[in-house]
Amino acid sequence: MLKTLLLDEMTWPEVETALADGHRSVVVAVGAIEQHGRHLPLLVDAARGDRLALEVARRLGGSLVGPTIRVGCSEHHMGFPGTISLRGDTLKAVCLDYVTSLARHGFRTVYLVPSHGGNFAPLATMLEELRAAAAPDCEVRAYTDLMEFVGLWQGAVREVAPELTRRVGGHADIAESSEMLCIRPDLVREELAEAGYVGGFDAALAARIFGEGPRAVTSNGVLGDPRGMSREIGERCIARAAEGVVAAFKDGG
């Protein structure tokens, strides 16, 4: 029985034993350090990545959790102080080194799970190169459907509080804020929570955000409305997100 699924908390003999016992896959979250409105800290996507990767690994079975890639592609958020962004080529280089290192140790599948909207498209673009680098002994999989992921959040909020579903907007909204109440409640400033852009999240808005930055539509950096956040909503969002990601992987995604 493993003491932990977290790869970076294990000793090398423990990793060796885990591999021998059939833990041949690794889940790696790809997060970000960027603005999340006035009520949430910059580390939201990194912290959420830690939790999401763990929940996905538990549901997949036979999987460990690799260290979250904490900084991602956040150029569109650079209009807000504190955001740190990697160039696409830099993120690709980091992902390449992750998957090739893990493949060399005998892991047979690496699952990449973005916990930041700006990482979905870059992961999709680099996926074939990652697969070629890890082949023939290791398969690389990635979850890359941003619209579907936001839909998972909407479904989760609808289950708990149907009247608040329209407050899901994709960034620092009721879903993400509620998740942080479960993960790092000490860093959530509920008294500062306020609505941002509430026109709904779709492909057209995503393209505008990635092209012009969120300040094009929201002055406070929020997409959606965080008011009404709760731990119950957060736990449901975490669970439904993990279930959706695992379902996509099992369906061949």
Which pLDDT tens digit goes with each residue over 60-79?
999 999 999 999 999 999 99
- Report the pLDDT value the prediction gives residue 148, as an integer from 0 to 100: 98
> Closest Cα partner for 34 from 199, 176, 221?
221
Please say if the pLDDT value at position 141 is more than 90: yes
* Domains of the chain with bracketed CATH: 7-145+245-250 (3.40.50.10310), 147-238 (no CATH)
- The structure's pTM equals 0.97
2-35 as b/e: b if 16+ CB within 10 A: eeebbbeebeeeebeebeeeebbbbbbbbbbbbb
| Model confidence band, residue 97 (pLDDT cutoffs 50, 70, 90) | very high
> pLDDT class for 223, splitting at 50, 70, 90?
very high
CA separation for the pair 50, 124 (Å, rounded): 21
Q: What is the pLDDT of residues 42-53, one digit of tens each?
A: 999 999 999 999
Between CA 199 and CA 224 the distance in angstroms is: 8
Between CA 91 and CA 100, with CA 94 as vertex, the angle to 5 degrees is 135
pLDDT band with cut points at 50, 70 and 90 for residue 253: low
CA distance 100 to 3: 26
Instruction: State the pLDDT confidence band at 133, using cuts at 50, 70 and 90.
Output: very high
